Structure 1
Amino acid sequence: MIMIDTHCHLYSEEFEHDIDEVISRAKASGVAKFYLPAIDSTSLQPMLALEKKYPNECFAMMGLHPCYVKDNYQAELAIVEQQLQSRSFVAVGEIGLDFYWDKTFSTQQYEAFELQMQWALDANLPIAIHTRNAMQETINMVKPFAAKGLTGVFHCFSGSYESAKQITDMNFMLGVGGVITYKNAGLAQALQNIPNAFLVLETDAPYLTPVPFRGKRNESNYLTYIVEKLANSKQIPIETMAAITTANAERLFKVNIS
Structure 2
Amino acid sequence: MIETHAHIYDEVFNDDREAMLERAFQAGIQQIWMPNCDHTTIDGMMALAEQYPNVCLPMMGLHPTYVKEDFQQELYIVEEWLNKAQASPSAQKFVAIGEIGMDLYWDKTFVEQQKEAFLVQCGLALKHNLWIDIHSRNAFWEVVELIEQVANPQLKGIFHCFTGTLEEAQKAIELGFKLGVGGVATFKNGGLDKVLPYIDLKHIVLETDCPYLAPVPYRGKRNEVAYIPLIAQRVADLMQVSVETIAQQTTENALNLR
TM-score (norm. length: structure 1): 0.95
Q: 1:16 corresponds to which residue?
A: 14
The answer on 1:242 being equivalent to 2:247 is: yes
Structure 1 residue ranges without an equivalent (≥5) = none
The equivalent residue for 2:38 is: 40
Structure 1 letter corresponding to 2:61: G
| Preserved contact between residue 8 and residue 36 of structure 1 (Cα < 8 Å) | yes
Q: CA deviation at 1:122?
A: 1.1
CA offset at residue 146 of structure 1?
A: 5.7
2:157 maps to 152
Q: Distance in 2 between matches of 1:172 and 1:146?
A: 14
Give the alignment of 1:90-101 within 5 angstroms.
90-101=95-106
Distance (Å, rounded) in 2 between the aligned partners of 1:57 and 1:144? 34
What count of residue pairs does the alignment treat as equivalent? Answer: 251
Identity of matched residues, %: 49
Q: CA–CA distance in 2 between the matches of 1:142 and 1:188?
A: 27
Select 1:25's aligned residue among 3, 14, 23. 23
2:146 is aligned to 141
Among 178, 194, 208, the alignment partner of 1:173 is: 178
Q: Within 2, Cα distance between the matches of 1:243 and 1:130?
A: 25
CA deviations over 1:174-209 (Å, ceiling 9, x no partner): 000000000011112212211111100000000010
How far apart are 1:40 and its partner, in Å? 0.2
CA RMSD of aligned residues (A): 0.9
In the aligned structure 1, how far is the partner of 2:111 from the partner of 2:166?
A: 26
1:139-182 Cα deviation digits (max 9, x unpaired): 11113446331110000000000000000011100000000000
Q: 1-side partners of 2:230 and 2:69: how far apart?
A: 40
Partners of 1:202 and 1:148 in 2: CA distance:
25
Whole-angstrom CA distance in 2 between matches of 1:148 and 1:213: 39
| Structure-2 separation of matches of 1:147 and 1:168 | 15
C-alpha separation in 1, matches of 2:55 and 2:13: 16
Q: Does 1:50 align with 2:48?
A: yes
CA distances 1:61-95 after superposition (whole Å, capped 9, x unpaired): 00000000001111101100111111121100000
**Partner residue, 1:201:** 206
In the alignment, the residues of structure 1 paired with residue 9 and residue 82 of structure 2 have an alpha-carbon distance, to the nearest angstrom, of 19
Output the CA distance in 1 between the equivalents of 2:150 and 2:3: 25
Question: Where does residue 69 of structure 1 map in the other structure?
Answer: 67
TM-score after normalising by structure 2: 0.95
